[in-house]
Structure 1
Amino acid sequence: MKGRKRFILVDTMGFLLGVRVVAASISEKAGAMLLIEKIWSQSLLKQLCGKMELVWVDSGYQGDDLYDWVATLTGWIWQVVKRSDDQKGFRILPRRWVVERSFAWLSFNRRLAKDYERLIRNSESNLYIAMLPMMLRRCK
């Protein structure tokens, strides 16, 4: 998608907990901070996510400043899942595929193929709406 980035927080089953859509010029660290601030400012999500202890992220979200910021705000342990230096080619890494699978599920929705929305709030709402049928099917 041109001009925007989507940051999502999912549980271990791939269900959407939080969404933040930002300009493409925002770095991964800044986007993660914006997403966590948004989640922490909403009381219902704060109650739901307050029970979490460990968050797996990919290597774009590493850095002591981000670890410390997340730990002081939420109390979460921020664990970066990296591939080994001697690894060649593509290999599925533990826990990182969960978010990628969630993005793949969301890509089945035609409305999310391109960003038709002018308002970021509408883009975020469409992500939640697209995830609802998948969550309902899997929770039976």
Structure 2
Amino acid sequence: MVKAYPSDLPSDQFDLLGDLLPPAKPGGCPRTVDIHAMLNAILYVLVEGGRWRALPGDFPPWQTVYTYFRNWRKDG
């Protein structure tokens, strides 16, 4: 990521949460997205109150971010 946002999760806090995030699903394509950037994008939408489609361009594509959010929410 190029720009820092107030909603960004610092690296030391992400390291604490890293073990709680689900691993990539077996048998599929290897994960190509940075999970830290993904989590920062989700936090950006939730904290700033924006729309998924209005994510700044330095985050992963909004469709990818929303899919991760939706799947993690479904999985609990």
TM-score scaled by length of structure 2: 0.30
TM-score scaled by length of structure 1: 0.20
Higher share in helix: 2
Higher share in strand: 1
> Which entry has the higher C-alpha Rg, 1 or 2?
1
